[in-house]
Chain A
Amino acid sequence: MTLSPRFTLTLTIVAILFLATIIHILVVLSIPLNVRHSAYDNVATHGPDRQFNLLPDVHPGEEALPDLDPAMKHAACRFQLSDGPVLFDASIPTSFWSIGLFNSAGEAIYSLNNRTAGAERLSMLVLTSPQLSILRENPPENLEDLIVIETGEISGFALLRAYTPDEARADVVDRALQNASCGTIG
């Protein structure tokens, strides 16, 4: 069987588009697997895991992490739940603060701000389901006061954002962020 030139051309174009679509999809899907610096890796460059590391102020040309708000001060903490539950504790004297929990792929797992936290003080416990069952057998006294987040993600990071209205407030907020804890329970 011999194909007419026009049919051959049509078939070629269809084949090109079909293959191009497959390649397009493969490329888009493979980008997240091949990034050199994920947000999770970047957070580690600012200090050790399992403690809140104050990120430098957001200034042009020296942004600690991409896409941060220059009106805020930030502190980040990276954790692995395989080392045990993480207890977040902070008291930040500012009119707005928020904390976001992200998994190692940079997807938001949980977030809250100082209004939804229901208290001036942030006290949040992040753990896996087995860890929660163990904890329930012998609950610590203050478990009632904690915000308990059960997650299936083993590794992740938290980003604490605190609004700094003016320079006068900056030191206080800085100190509060440095004193924020991202440690173990008990």
Chain B
Amino acid sequence: MTDTASGTNGTRYGEADWYEQELPRAIRPHRSHPIRTLVLLSIILVSAALIGISSAYLMIEREQPLNAVTIGSWRAYPKAGTSEADPYSVAIYTRGAVIPLASGEGLAMVAREDDRGHLLDPTCIYRISGQTPAARLWTLTVTDGNGRLVETLPGRVHLDSQNLLRETDGTFVINAASRPHSGNWLPLAASANASDGLRFVLRLYDAPVTTGAALDGVSLPVIERQGCP
């Protein structure tokens, strides 16, 4: 250090010298840059607002509440739509004005992917086979990527357990395609683009598995992609 910095000599305690790069940065006196500080603060505010709002939007728009129970391709949200729901589910459900299937009624399970983890595509043909957990009644519904029903060739958008052809061992095979199929045909959207998205919604009514814990180890239908145009 020089005597300029130590300031022992009052006459040389000049401001002009004070900013010389001789002091370690940490103890160098602060020289204010109002414009620079303002710009920095606005960058912080604007980018924080952008990141905060867009991440919230993405979480809500994804429509996938937390606390999911995942079995194969299927996801259930037993807590969503109850007073125990997490804030994301509350936001998703109230924003969509969705009336949930209450636990005493049944359990809805949603598939967005096939068994290999590919996103479902409404232009493809899928084979849904296997069995469902015990339930007095179940329905399988086709929706687009936003959960809305779609126009199909026969006008029907669902299959239910009471109007289903089964194998002798109680299992079933469902063909989901936009064109007619023999056997159990679940019609997909008559005219759809891959970007419209596809979801299968399996609603189990009066099922013992309406609580999350009971879902462990149950077998659900497997969704296999058979082919795409």
Residues of chain A whose beta carbon lies under 8 Å from any beta carbon of chain B: 1-4, 8, 12, 15-24, 26-29, 31-32, 35, 37-39, 41-42, 58-61, 63, 65-72, 95-96, 98-102, 105-108, 110-113, 115-116, 159, 161, 163, 165-166
Contact = CB atoms under 8 A, between A and B. Distances in A.
B140 to A, nearest CB: 9
Contact of A106 (B56, B97, B148): B97
A113 B40 contact: no
A1 B101 CA distance: 60
B200 to A, nearest CB: 13
A65 B101 CA distance: 13
Given A63-B148, A111-B104, 10 more contacts: A31-B91, A39-B99, A71-B160, A95-B162, A100-B101, A106-B100, A107-B81, A107-B83, A112-B105, A163-B137
Interface of B: 25-31, 40, 43-45, 47-53, 55-57, 59-60, 81-83, 85, 87-88, 90-91, 93-106, 108, 136-137, 139, 141, 147-152, 155-158, 160, 162-163, 203, 205-206
- The winner among A12, A65, A67 for most chain B CB atoms within 10 A is A67
Contact of A38 (B51, B97, B105, B205): B97
B162 A37 contact: no
Nearest to B27: A1
B103 A111 contact: yes
A16 B29 CA distance: 26
B59 to A, nearest CB: 7
B149 A35 contact: no
Contacts of A65: 97, 99
A66 B40 CA distance: 45
B162 A165 contact: yes
A66 B96 contact: yes
A171 to B, nearest CB: 18
Contact of B149 (A16, A59, A98): A59
Contacts of A39: 94, 97-99
B157 A60 contact: yes
Given A1-B30, A107-B81, A66 B163 contact: no
A42 B31 CA distance: 60
A106 B93 contact: yes
B146 to A, nearest CB: 10
A127 B45 CA distance: 49
Contacts of B158: 69-71
A66 B25 contact: no
A95 B50 CA distance: 52
B149 A61 contact: yes
B104 A110 contact: yes
A124 to B, nearest CB: 12
B137 to A, nearest CB: 5
A113 B210 CA distance: 13
Contacts of A41: 97
B94 A38 contact: yes
B76 to A, nearest CB: 14
B25 A100 contact: no
Contacts of B98: 39, 66-67, 106
Given A2-B30, A96-B136, A32 B90 contact: yes
20 contacts: A2-B28, A2-B30, A17-B51, A20-B55, A21-B52, A22-B52, A23-B53, A29-B87, A39-B94, A39-B98, A60-B148, A60-B149, A63-B148, A70-B158, A100-B102, A110-B102, A113-B106, A113-B206, A116-B104, A159-B99
A151 to B, nearest CB: 12
Contacts of A63: 148-149
Contacts of A21: 52
A63 B97 CA distance: 12
Contacts of B45: 19
Contacts of B30: 1-2
